[in-house]
Structure 1
């Protein structure tokens, strides 16, 4: 009897061991996806992208292991914080060795993506492009820590898939690599200009005749200046797009817009300093509240958080599409030739955010009724004591 019990125990132990090995092997073979955001979840843009990623992973890659990391560089943009945030991500990549790195917004490309490029001739640069880019912004920082995280095996380099890039990935070296692909976050200028024209027509007898793009002095805003200038805003006049460093400079631009019958177009506003030389930023809600109160003409947003921060209306790129496309691009193997600009997907979807009650300040609530009707039809119409908000993605 004892022998039989021992045999049974051995059989059970054998079966359990086989099961453990099979589970371990299955986990080992599951694709590992590391999602790295430049910013944090206090931005609805980030949450919308995550929603797109998770829904698409669930339907197309259900067995995938996924981790999310938020660098929080919108709220903390100093060199020391940037260095620590970058170091943490690089160590995480070196430890977990993901198959795919999904990078969102420009700073993640600059600080992380440029470090893991696979070039056609299987060479490694003498100095990482990431180091060069980092040293340009923070020349006094010791960047030796990058050397500790190099992947020496060219074939082991992960696939880099990017989203949320406002202008081009050329500065990050992505057009020299065969393991890069992604989707741009270029503004939908056609939708923005059409909306501005609607606002100018519905806003009283003294109609706005111009538009002034106003943004903070962040690297993202700087990169978009060319696009604002190149687009034809006719019949509206374009007042020179401005990127400002301080609240005082921001106020001057609002006065300039008022003097020129210009509507303001605002996309980036989280990094406006309280005063010259300060490391403190004006809180976003405070900045937008002041702007709305002092602007004589409509103020249109071009970012997902604008209405949440107190703005009247926004027309922004849909984060949901960006997230889903990140996962779609996982289906493509490493290409034989380096990425080219024409191979980067362009955003097709945009969302509309509307605080309907605020339209009375400028437009006597005379915006096209289709906005409200569509929001109610799709269940995206929210009402409380403060505002009515719709977010609609086609």
Structure 2
């Protein structure tokens, strides 16, 4: 495994201006993943924008995309030790890995806001339902909508689509809840979709290489940010995205914003990490303001997305933009 610089990265953001007292309310932001992911960066930006100068913000990264699953519990122990040391007034936990490992335990003593959760709350986190101490934002990846909107934008004719997923907790949630745990279904009258899940980067690449021979017109890749080689070595998200641009025999799109761009994946309908962070911080402020014994703040569902396309990759495949207005479309170089 490539050397990981650190298991956790601490940032202490002291808010306030010269001559004023430091804000007394402490919020801890626990990221399941690592700092270099754009999703993580955008979530942090959104949280900071919404909190402003009225809070002290402590940030911890669990790094569970790069770490093997066998080290998740160790990462959770380190995160919980940091929580105990900082003694925050509220904790925001981002994504399923962190929330599943830490949410219930932290919520025993401290208000919790979750965000970026792909799982079904009632099924996977039933202890949340009757708690007045927890609220958050559920993320719904727009897998089917990405395919439909891409076809509409480019007027491409699709017949068979491959949805390629990894075996991470995020990928599992997408399969279970966004795709209904179905391996075969129709997205539209004339578009048939097959879902394939793989457990290693080698198998993932092989599936993409075979896609054209298997009769697919398009591939949608999702849930592959935690991919490892068969020997356990982590393969970076960016490396895999660039491999797709250089090697995929068919058009490939994604649900991950960080993967889209020149020399990477062509397009995708994505959820805004900045909006997710803003919504989560807003819920945190509401939860902190509630009197004890108040009713639970309703859980939010974020499904508002944006279609992003790379001009360079569109040109490589001879595609043009046709049927999407400029307000609902973001074009990258």
Task: Compute the TM-score of the two structures, normalised by the length of structure 1.
Answer: 0.69
Task: Compute the TM-score of the two structures, normalised by the length of structure 2.
Answer: 0.80
Out of 46, 68, 77, the residue aligned to residue 59 of structure 2 is 68
What residue is the counterpart of 1:53 in the other structure? 47
Distance 1:43 1:63, change over 3 A: same
Quote the Cα distance in structure 2 between the aligned partners of 1:359 and 1:72: 33
Say whether 1:368 aligns with 2:322: yes
Out of 2, 24, 32, the residue aligned to residue 30 of structure 1 is 24
Q: Secondary structure at the match of 1:163?
A: strand
Matches within 5 A, 1:76-115: 76-80=67-71, 82-115=72-105
Extract unaligned runs of 5+ from structure 2. 1-18
What residue is the counterpart of 2:267 in the other structure? 313
Distance 1:189 1:32, change over 3 A: same
What residue is the counterpart of 2:146 in the other structure? 192
Q: Secondary structure at the match of 1:69?
A: strand
Out of 27, 34, 39, the residue aligned to residue 33 of structure 2 is 39
Distance 1:85 1:261, change over 3 A: closer
Say whether 1:268 aligns with 2:223: yes
Quote the Cα distance in structure 2 between the aligned partners of 1:256 and 1:198: 26
Matches within 5 A, 1:183-222: 183-189=137-143, 191-198=145-152, 201-202=155-156, 207-222=157-172
Out of 299, 314, 330, the residue aligned to residue 252 of structure 2 is 299
Quote the Cα distance in structure 2 between the aligned partners of 1:248 and 1:83: 26
Task: List, as ranges, runs of 4+ consecutive aligned residues in structure 1 with deviation greater than 4 Å.
Answer: 334-339, 373-376
Asked whether the equivalents of residues 208 and 297 of structure 1 are also in contact (C-alpha less than 8 Å), the reply is: no
Tell me the CA shift for residue 111 of structure 1: 1.6
Q: Secondary structure at the match of 1:316?
A: strand
Tell me the CA shift for residue 311 of structure 1: 1.0
Say whether 1:247 aligns with 2:201: yes
What residue is the counterpart of 1:169 in the other structure? 121
Q: Secondary structure at the match of 1:305?
A: helix
Asked whether the equivalents of residues 307 and 355 of structure 1 are also in contact (C-alpha less than 8 Å), the reply is: yes
Out of 89, 99, 117, the residue aligned to residue 107 of structure 2 is 117
The number of aligned residues is 303
Higher normalized contact order (CA 8 Å, seq sep 6+, divided by chain length)? 2
Structure ID, larger Rg? 1
Extract unaligned runs of 5+ from structure 1. 1-22, 119-156, 383-387, 389-394
Quote the Cα distance in structure 2 between the aligned partners of 1:37 and 1:225: 22
Quote the Cα distance in structure 2 between the aligned partners of 1:250 and 1:236: 26
Distance 1:248 1:327, change over 3 A: closer
Asked whether the equivalents of residues 356 and 365 of structure 1 are also in contact (C-alpha less than 8 Å), the reply is: no
